Amino acid sequence: MLDLRDLSVRFGQRIVLRDITLQARAGELLAICGANGAGKSTLLKAALGEVPSQGTIRLNGHDTALSRPATLAPLRAVLPQDTEVAFAFTLGEIVAMGREAGAFAAEPEVDALALAAVGLQGRTDDDIRTLSGGERQRGHLARALAQVWEPVAPSGPRWLLLDEPVASLDLGQQLQVMRMARSFADAGGGVIAVMHDLNLSAMFADRMAFLIEGRLAEVGSPAQVMQAPLLERAYGCRIALNRGPVTGPWLVPQACVPFPLA
């Protein structure tokens, strides 16, 4: 379990996150949603210790603030929003780093499977910096995937923490990546994904955590979170909700708050 208790983050005087208490469970895909600036990415970064925070974070029982990188790396892998690579590493080298950096055994078969899982098989010799934005993003996802390839380790479940994993992907790739995350969770691992797209979140997530201005406004099943009053408050526009036969609740933004024309 990834257990966040009373997590608060402030940047200078500004309080970015306020008393977030949230548990992510193994075997579940938890989507963190909210408007721009609501604190979604900050919540993920705080959970990873990338930004200083108050409160406690426990991953499978380890207090992460007191744990060494080598202890945590076998338990969780991270896909950041954007990764700048300093040298001309190939895609294959980047994916292999997922295991090699932390002194795990290198496993070329795992690397190949991870690349195939994101649709980049056969591209191992490409310079990562010559790939398109979407390919780069999927390449780094393959690296994260290779790092925690078995969703359940002998010591407990493994975790994928993804910051906007589908941000620069086309429709087909979005579904591919979300299906991959879904099957990681179905196999017993835990997935936490910061998501912009509510419809995709509702389609794939077991639970959604919805942030408004740094507070946890709602946590629950997509049906619980996808409620017009909450979403209208968060996004400042009228929203109509539908129910798809396969996809569950999905929303259509209606006439937004009209712009003054003059």
Partner 1 sequence: MLSLTGPAVSSRRLPRLTLTIALATLVLVASVASLTSGAAGLGVGDLAGALLGEGLSPRDRIVLFDIRLPRLALGLAVGASLAVSGVILQGLFRNPLADPGIVGVSSGAGLGAVLAIVLGGLLPSTLTVTIGPALVPVAAGLGGWVTTLILYRVATSGRRTDVAMMLLAGIALSALAGAATGVLTYLADDRQLRDLTFWSMGSLAGATWAKFGAALPLMALALSLAPRLARGMNALALGEAQAAHMGVDVEWLKRLAVLSAAAATGAAVAVSGGIGFVGIVVPHLLRQAQGPDHRRLIPHAALLGAALLVLADLVSRTIVAPAELPIGILTALFGAPVFLWMLLRSNQFRRRQNA
Instruction: Give me the residues that bind partner 1 (CB under 8 A), please.
Output: 48, 50, 68-70, 72-74, 76-78, 80, 83-90, 93-94, 97-98, 100-104, 125-127, 129-130, 147
**Distance of closest approach, residue 158 Cβ to partner 1, in angstroms:** 13
**Distance of closest approach, residue 11 Cβ to partner 1, in angstroms:** 14
For partner 1, the closer CB: 103 or 246 = 103
**Distance of closest approach, residue 238 Cβ to partner 1, in angstroms:** 38
**Rounded CA gap, 168 and 222, in Å?**
23
Q: Which of 80, 117, 122, 115 is nearest to 95 (CA)?
A: 115
For partner 1, the closer CB: 133 or 244 = 133
HEC readout, 194-252: ECCCHHHHHHHCCEEEEEECCEEEEEECHHHHCCHHHHHHHHCEEEEEEEECCCEEEEE
For partner 1, the closer CB: 78 or 231 = 78
State residue 201 phi and psi, 5-degree precision: -60, -50
126 half-sphere exposure, CB direction, 13 A CA radius? 15
**Distance of closest approach, residue 74 Cβ to partner 1, in angstroms:** 7
For partner 1, the closer CB: 39 or 80 = 80
**Distance of closest approach, residue 230 Cβ to partner 1, in angstroms:** 32
For partner 1, the closer CB: 107 or 213 = 107
**Distance of closest approach, residue 72 Cβ to partner 1, in angstroms:** 8
For partner 1, the closer CB: 76 or 207 = 76
**Rounded CA gap, 99 and 145, in Å?**
10
